[in-house]
Structure 1
Amino acid sequence: MDTAAARSRLEAMLDDLDRSIAILRGEHPGRDNSAADAGSALSDSDRVEAALGSLQRHRSGVQAALERIAAGVYGQCQGCGHQVPEGRLEARPDAARCVTCQAKHDRAMR
């Protein structure tokens, strides 16, 4: 994949993620003192926090991919050192590993 095209896609992804994070941070479910509403507010708050965590992890991955472009190692698998297949980078421009190494990484993280 052309690094200029990858950079452009990654920067657009970063902008989208920043907008989504800003929107979720602006959502603070109203806290009502009634017992019935307290459980609902907690559940909504938990969902927002989970979504924020996921978006922030995705943002970190996109930022790391931009840093790999700047370092001249974009597209090189961080696991085995081989080139990440072009199709994978097309589908996931923030991919840091080939499919095999990513599967190993995911298993190790469990």
Structure 2
Amino acid sequence: MDLVFKAALGAGVVILLALLSKTRNYYIAGLVPLFPTFALIAHYIVGKGRSIEDLKTTILFGMWSIIPYFIYLLSLYVLVERMRLEASLALATLAWLIAATLLVTVWVRLH
């Protein structure tokens, strides 16, 4: 049942994004992915199953995870004027993957 709730929550976010993109304030669709839907789920699961210190570590890592997301947005912002949308999205996602891999690598070495 827990998995069904999580799937429904994710579907609800997708529907909200689709609806917002059709409104006069379409740009708000860029804010919705930053709502901590999955962070809430992750923090609840870690908080219930592990120590407070583990939860705090998860929260701290989440703060650093803003960097790959920023790199994704910056890449997409630059690329979207230079190539097709699909290619821009693919390359921005690749930039996110590289930044996220670097973040995890550095995190593991420091912690």
Task: Verify same fold: TM over 0.5.
Answer: no
The normalised TM-score by structure 2 is 0.33
> Quick one: higher RCO (CA 8 Å, sep 6+), 1 or 2?
1
TM-score, structure 1 as length reference: 0.34
Task: Name whichever structure is richer in helix by fraction.
Answer: 2
Q: Rg: which structure is higher?
A: 1
